[in-house]
Structure 1
């Protein structure tokens, strides 16, 4: 059997087996990640709450003041609720240790289902990806794109940009059609089963249509421009392509929350009141240049909660999910924002942006060494006799082969640094005097979101961007003990 099965006309035997190397590397990574998933999967079968987890829950409960709990107004509001809503609201009044006891089994079942789904979907992914490589799907799709350009009156041999755009759109559609059943199952079966899905098929279809439109418009513009810049840049193409990519990255960070995110969610100014006053006071206290304070209807799609900030220089904005406001009390929401402002104060966002830009620069610079390598292209079934070696194909193949190892190593290091930053942001909030409130807020979110309660240390070290909640709570409790 010839490998790959489909080869472009004029194909020659490669001098370096890049395709075989890519498959071996992908399998090694898959087996390693599956082993980590198996370790974590076994812990999700645990029925007993870990003593360390229950200990920190009881410690958080013991820190609560006698006044902690719902106000008379909140109790009156609960009395007006009915059915499941009232049951959930009343459960939120219980001590956190008791709530953990009630939710632990549900969290384990949710995590077990997600783990099973993850292993099954990743197994299907690796099989399909390797089959497509062996069949020569990529050169076949490129030839299909060339034929599409020719039918539209273009000259594929002289128009790399148009052929690249056709290839990009065809590949996007094929990939999305394959992954759509998994996305539907995840939302409408798995998330629905555990009470988190709020999506309707109509809303999902609307989101999908917007995603296609944005990808076709913005993705095509970016890709076409990158191909032009790389061809124009000559020997220094990596420098110009990096500068252009950096500009686009900053541009997208600016326009996404203002123009794109509102296409999917409704953003409203946080109403005047005690919560808004407390957040504005916190921002002023740490000199955070807050200009806008929004709530977003995250509950339209999911019951999971979140909060984030965005903006450049003197134009900072904070967004609170409506689900967070439902799950946590005002002082806990403020404490969580104290943690988020810690990331800003310690330049974590700028640090992450800097690493991303450096990573992109080194990748483009490294790509320059194999950009015109016949072996890289012919190994995957492309002809070395074409008028040009497609940039979009070259970057894709480079990412799957030589750069793949670097990508995994950098990802591992970035996750480790992210966990370090989370501890620093927690400490910042604790130093502001929000230790008790932040601990309660984080624990409530963990319970409400049915977060992983028993992380495996190897799995967490490789995958987690945030430390396990029990580790964060223990660190804050230790910090308080040392201060005392």
Structure 2
């Protein structure tokens, strides 16, 4: 057995065991605290809501057990199990040009992997989400979303994939640098186009209509020195009763988006505080820094792929008999997550740091107490556990745990009295 094969299998086993262990810790911690609302939330979250959040988290954890196992099996099946090579052989009968052959092999492999994960996605939506009263997705809408996503992958991802494979085969040893330029342009285009052209294919976005709330938000935008296309309400209730808000876009296509379910649940001052938090991510350059970091990681990843693609044992060690640009790309996509998984806590820590900073920004330009009240309502209505396992939260969570975050917001509010 080649040493790289052994390394891949070992890291895949370790990551799978670690994911399973952390998942089981989360299930146990949440179940252990099911019968008692934390004292800090005793007056705001009733016991039934707390139990629902615990049961919902445990149910998702049970599904995650299968998801973890499936990820490992897919990685093995398509590499050492010969899955990529089998799909490659099937398309050889079409006698396509090398670049077109590689493009359809990669797209077919990605489609096959998506199909394998589809049953778990269906069960989550129509099983767990429906059982806990969150799902509003119909079978027709689910299929429509699936087909739209597939069409977008073909229309946007297909040409990008073709260009990258062309560069890999024709642009010489520095192909990865040219490919990074293409990837950067594509990423910036998608980030710019998403709010105005792509997201509306899936949801309806309407300008905020409540005049009193509109005046409140416009005043906040002015105080923060923020210019955008405006604040929009998204019909998230078509698919789920979960509420959320987010910032999206770059340049003149910047948008603040509220789910309609969030607007229904929060008061004006609470919505203003949530908006101030989202504005904080922009004013503190979180969106820009994340985009820059992702592009730098893309550069490093493509440079590494350039080295691996020219190293014959890379293919042989992972079940590919004949080296090719598309095989190198697919192997890299399948193997890289196993190696980068252990960096997950760093990304989670950085994200939590940004959340704390955005909360501080909201406290400066709005009311930290109202933000805390809004978050507690969202925790309750979205069935977010208030008692996560500490290690699981540290490893994965992009947002601070509820107890820590609310306590910090209450301190910020007290400092401004």
Contact 1:160 1:390 in 2 (8 A): no
Residue 328 of structure 2 corresponds to 394
Contact 1:294 1:320 in 2 (8 A): yes
Residue 32 of structure 2 corresponds to 46
Contact 1:280 1:290 in 2 (8 A): no
- Residue by residue, what CA displacement relative to the aligned partner does 1:358-377 show, whole Å, maximum 9, x if unpaired? 10111111222222111111
Matched, 1:439 2:372: yes
1:424 deviates by 0.5
Instruction: Pick from 238, 248, 254 the counterpart of residue 176 of structure 2.
Output: 238
Secondary structure of the residue that 1:243 maps to in structure 2? helix
Contact 1:139 1:380 in 2 (8 A): no
Residue 254 of structure 1 corresponds to 192
Distance 1:160 1:396, change over 3 A: same
Distance 1:406 1:351, change over 3 A: farther
Residue 10 of structure 1 corresponds to none
* Alpha-carbon separation, structure 2, partners of 1:42 and 1:351: 36
More helix by share: 2
* Alpha-carbon separation, structure 1, partners of 2:350 and 2:180: 24
Residue 72 of structure 1 corresponds to none
Residue 117 of structure 1 corresponds to 63
Matched, 1:362 2:300: yes
Residue 220 of structure 2 corresponds to 282
**TM-score using structure 1 length:** 0.82
Matched, 1:223 2:156: no
Structure 2 residue ranges without an equivalent (≥5): none
* Alpha-carbon separation, structure 1, partners of 2:242 and 2:5: 41
Q: Once superposed, what is the RMSD of the aligned Cα atoms?
A: 2.0
Instruction: Pick from 188, 207, 212 the counterpart of residue 145 of structure 2.
Output: 207
1:309 deviates by 2.1
**TM-score using structure 2 length:** 0.94
1:227 deviates by 1.1
Structure 1 or 2, whichever has the larger Rg, is 1
Residue 349 of structure 1 corresponds to 287
Residue 383 of structure 1 corresponds to 321
Distance 1:129 1:230, change over 3 A: closer
Secondary structure of the residue that 2:251 maps to in structure 1? coil
* Alpha-carbon separation, structure 2, partners of 1:400 and 1:171: 11
Residue 429 of structure 1 corresponds to 362
1:3-402 pair list within 5 angstroms: 16-47=2-33, 53-55=38-40, 57=41, 97-147=43-93, 149-150=94-95, 154=96, 159-384=97-322, 389-401=323-335
* Alpha-carbon separation, structure 1, partners of 2:75 and 2:113: 10
Task: Report how many residues are paired.
Answer: 417
* Alpha-carbon separation, structure 1, partners of 2:366 and 2:207: 27
* Alpha-carbon separation, structure 2, partners of 1:462 and 1:134: 29
Instruction: Pick from 392, 408, 420 the counterpart of residue 353 of structure 2.
Output: 420
- Residue by residue, what CA displacement relative to the aligned partner does 1:66-98 show, whole Å, maximum 9, x if unpaired? xxxxxxxxxxxxxxxxxxxxxxxxxxxxxxx25
Structure 1 residue ranges without an equivalent (≥5): 1-13, 59-96
Contact 2:15 2:342 in 1 (8 A): no
Distance 1:233 1:409, change over 3 A: farther
1:115 deviates by 0.5
Matched, 1:411 2:357: no
1:406 deviates by 5.0
Distance 1:355 1:271, change over 3 A: same
* Alpha-carbon separation, structure 2, partners of 1:347 and 1:98: 33
1:293 deviates by 2.2
* Alpha-carbon separation, structure 2, partners of 1:428 and 1:50: 33
Secondary structure of the residue that 1:308 maps to in structure 2? strand
1:473 deviates by 0.8
